Structures are given as C-alpha cells and as structure tokens.
C-alpha cells in the first residue's frame, strides 16, 4: 500500500521578484507601492539610459549658476519675469512642433504660420474693419488651423514628405505675409487687450486667486483619479507620491507668485504675473490632457512608435496625422499672436526660419525624440526656458548674437546626443 507523504505546514510563497527589464520598461508609478520603491524604479530607468527631463533640469541649474556668478542681476525677480515672457514664444512654438515630432514628422512652416496668425488678427483689428479683439484672434487661429489641415491632408493623402511640404509652406507663407502688408511694411496694434497679452500683468490679488484655484483643481483631479484607480484595483501611484505631486505643484505656484509679485519697476511699481504666463500654462494643460488622457493622444504615440502596427490595430493614420498638423499650426498661431502682442505690431521682418529652428530645439532640448513616439508637452516648456535663459544670460553679459547662436547650437547637439544614447540604452534592455 502506497503511503501519502505529509506535505508539512503550508509556507507562504513570496511574490516573484520583478525582472529588471520590466522595471525599466514600465513607468515607476506602475510598479511602485511606496515612495521608496518609486525612487528606486526611477533610478533604474535613469541608469538604463532613460533619463527623462533630468538632463535639461541639470542644464538649467548649470546655466543659472554660470550666469549668476558672472552677473548678479540674472536671478533677480525682474529678470526672471522678463525671461518667462521671452521664453513664452519659444515654448508655444515648441508645443506646436511636438505634435509633428511625436509622429516622427517635422513642420518647418510654423514660424511663418505664426506670422500669418498675427497678420490676420492685426488686419482685422485695424480700420476700417475694426473687429472685436476676441473675434480677430479667433479668426487668426481659424486661419492657422485651416493651414494645418491643408498641409496635413497633402502629407497624408498624397504621401509626400512633411519636410518638403512644410518647407514649401515656409516659403509660401512668407510671401503671403509680404503680399498682405507690403514689402517692409509694419502694422501697429492699437488694441489694449491684444497688446496686454504679452505686456500686461495680473494684479497681485488676482494672481493669488488664480494660483489657489489652479492648485485646488489640480489636487482634486489628481487625488480623485488615483483614489478611483486604487478602489478599482487598478495600478495607481502610492498615496505618498500623489501627495508629493500636489505639494510640488503648490510649491511651484508659490515660487512663481513670489517672483512675479515682487516690484520690478524702476520709476513706477510693476508687479503681477504676466498674462502670457497664464496663456502658456493653459495651453500646456490642454495639450497634456489631450496627449496623455485621451484616445487621440494614445493614437498619436502609437503612430509615432510604429505606424504599421497602429494601422493594423485599426487606427486611421490619415485622420490622426492631419489632426496633429492642424493642432501644430493652430498652436503656432497662438505663438504668433503672442509675438505680435509683445512687439505691439506685425511686420515682414519676422524671422520665421529662425523661429522654427528654435521650436525644434525647444522640443528636443526638453527631451522629445526626433524619431517619434516619445515626448511630452512639458518638454517644450523646459526646452523653451533653457533657450531663453541662454539668450537672456548672454544678453546680460553683452555677448554677441553670434555667440548666442553657437552656444544654443551646442546645447541642441548635446540634447540630440543624449536622446540617441538613451535610445540605444533602451534598445539594449528591450524597451523602446
């Protein structure tokens, strides 16, 4: 008779350890159950070559240290606020270019598309048309959106390279601007609201009210989203990480207000958060939600990562790409109106070719890949601030424009090199 072997007391089997490849491939908040695990997972991703925004953050610190050591005015409240205003156009153009870069494409026309938005808006504001400011701005943005639809349709339906189509746009829209306002012409802006978009400030009280409402909205949305995921048994970041994100946003808002609300006037007091900062933040939040929380955003990343796989999965490539070029041109239109507001006029002296190069540089320096599929709107913000900081700091030191261009080019080259090295590192561990 066979005997049954006593299996002995049950021993709880520990959960299998997460393979290092999985830790590197997944976002840290997916695998982390505590703040400590999140930090360790983030460190492993950086070690594997996926450094995220760390290089540009380190670069900004280095830039600040260098320029502050050479000129004590660099980190003053007045100069930092001026830097934010200078960076606004670069950031908005970078936000525009990201839509094309995520698809693995490029849009070389956005510099003069931005100019077209300014020209249309200013022409409609001027006599004898005298349109209301909001209608003129909407018309300018509608024209740029239409430009994006046309260029996107040509690229996707005729399967032409985006480089060639948008290069033609760069030349064509420059010529159209000259045709509308005349060779060497300048059209001033006589509308106070439009001029204040880049030159006006909120009152100190209004700035605090907007900041408190914004932080409360972010905290409520973030907390409820993570709570619902935990309650449903879905993967969610640890509570400590959620609280840390909310505290980080609150601290950033307070720091921004303390800088912008300091009196930076010489003869008359000048205080308050510039309107253009709010325009950039609203655009950033809108495009972050669109790309990170909607089906459309997932399709954009899918096409940029592997267009053929996305097509086989049923994604309408032509429609998504055309919409991306439309959003790219419309965001450039916002930048163009802000640029015209800052100058209080539009003219044919607009250097759209240089602006588009700065737009690509802002996105890539911030961490967006030139090969598609990787990048976030916040990258344009960081890259745009880096470019503006270099120009601002060198201006304080009295350096020539040629030196500024050379240094910006070296920073861009360093960013592309980091992206290429990181991509090879991810490929080595089996991630994209």
User: Tell me, what's the pLDDT at 231?
Assistant: 85
- State the helix-helix crossing angle for 239-260 and 77-102, rounded to 10 degrees: 130
User: Tell me, what's the pLDDT at 294?
Assistant: 94
Asked whether residue 419 carries a pLDDT value surpassing 70, the answer given is no
Report d(CA 327, CA 317) in Å as an integer: 15
Q: Give 324 or 30, the one with higher predicted confidence.
A: 324
User: Tell me, what's the pLDDT at 27?
Assistant: 64
Q: Mean pLDDT for the chain?
A: 86
Report d(CA 211, CA 192) in Å as an integer: 24
Instruction: Read off the pLDDT band of 365 (50, 70, 90).
Output: confident
Asked whether residue 354 carries a pLDDT value surpassing 80, the answer given is yes
Instruction: Read off the pLDDT band of 127 (50, 70, 90).
Output: confident
Asked whether residue 21 carries a pLDDT value surpassing 70, the answer given is no
Most confident of 312-321, 356-365, 404-413: 312-321
Q: Give 205 or 414, the one with higher predicted confidence.
A: 205
Asked whether residue 1 carries a pLDDT value surpassing 50, the answer given is no
User: Tell me, what's the pLDDT at 2?
Assistant: 46
User: Tell me, what's the pLDDT at 44?
Assistant: 77
Report d(CA 338, CA 371) in Å as an integer: 29
Asked whether residue 280 carries a pLDDT value surpassing 90, the answer given is yes
User: Tell me, what's the pLDDT at 328?
Assistant: 97
Asked whether residue 15 carries a pLDDT value surpassing 60, the answer given is no
Q: What is the pLDDT of residues 313-353, one digit of tens each?
A: 999 999 999 999 999 999 999 999 999 999 999 988 888 88
User: Tell me, what's the pLDDT at 329?
Assistant: 97
Asked whether residue 31 carries a pLDDT value surpassing 70, the answer given is no
Q: Give 413 or 64, the one with higher predicted confidence.
A: 64
Instruction: Read off the pLDDT band of 4 (50, 70, 90).
Output: very low
Q: What is the pLDDT of residues 174-203, one digit of tens each?
A: 999 999 988 778 889 989 999 999 999 999
């Amino acid at each position: 008779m066979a005997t049954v072997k006593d299996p002995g007391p049950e021993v709880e089997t520990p959960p299998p350890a997460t393979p290092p490849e999985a830790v590197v491939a997944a976002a840290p908040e997916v695998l982390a159950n505590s703040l400590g695990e999140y930090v360790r997972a983030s460190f492993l991703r950086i070690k594997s070559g996926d450094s995220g925004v760390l290089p540009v953050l380190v670069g900004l610190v280095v830039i600040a240290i260098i320029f502050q050591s050479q000129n004590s005015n660099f980190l003053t409240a007045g100069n930092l606020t001026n830097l934010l205003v200078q960076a606004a156009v670069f950031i908005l153009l970078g936000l525009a270019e990201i839509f094309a870069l995520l698809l693995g494409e490029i849009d070389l026309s956005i510099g003069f598309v931005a100019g077209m938005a300014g020209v249309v808006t200013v022409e409609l504001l001027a006599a004898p048309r005298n349109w209301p400011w909001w209608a003129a701005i909407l018309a300018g943005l509608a024209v740029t959106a239409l430009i994006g639809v046309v260029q996107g349709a040509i690229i996707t339906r005729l399967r032409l390279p985006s480089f060639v189509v948008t290069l033609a746009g760069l030349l064509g829209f420059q010529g159209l601007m000259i045709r509308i306002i005349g060779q060497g012409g300048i059209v001033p802006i006589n509308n106070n609201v439009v001029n204040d978009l880049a030159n006006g400030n909120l009152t100190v009280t209004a700035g605090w009210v907007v900041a408190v409402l914004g932080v409360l909205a972010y905290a409520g949305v973030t907390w409820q989203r993570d709570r619902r995921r935990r309650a449903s048994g879905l993967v969610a970041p640890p509570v400590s990480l959620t609280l840390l994100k909310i505290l980080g946003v609150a601290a950033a808002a307070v720091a921004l207000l303390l800088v912008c609300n300091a009196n930076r006037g010489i003869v008359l007091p000048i205080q308050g958060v510039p309107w253009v900062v709010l325009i950039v933040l609203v655009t950033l939040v809108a495009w972050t939600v669109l790309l990170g929380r909607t089906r459309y955003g997932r399709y954009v990343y899918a096409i940029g990562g592997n267009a053929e796989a996305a097509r086989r999965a049923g994604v309408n490539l032509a429609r998504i790409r055309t919409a991306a070029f439309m959003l790219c041109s419309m965001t450039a239109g916002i930048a163009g109106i802000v640029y015209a507001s800052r100058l209080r006029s539009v003219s044919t002296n607009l250097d759209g070719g240089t602006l588009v190069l700065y737009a690509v540089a802002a996105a890539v320096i911030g961490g967006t890949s030139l090969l598609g599929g990787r990048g976030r709107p916040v990258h344009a913000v960081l890259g745009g601030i880096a470019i503006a900081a270099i120009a601002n700091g060198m201006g304080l030191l009295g350096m020539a424009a040629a030196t500024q261009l050379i240094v910006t080019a070296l920073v861009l080259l360093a960013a592309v090199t980091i992206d290429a090295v990181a991509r090879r590192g991810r490929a080595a561990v089996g991630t994209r």
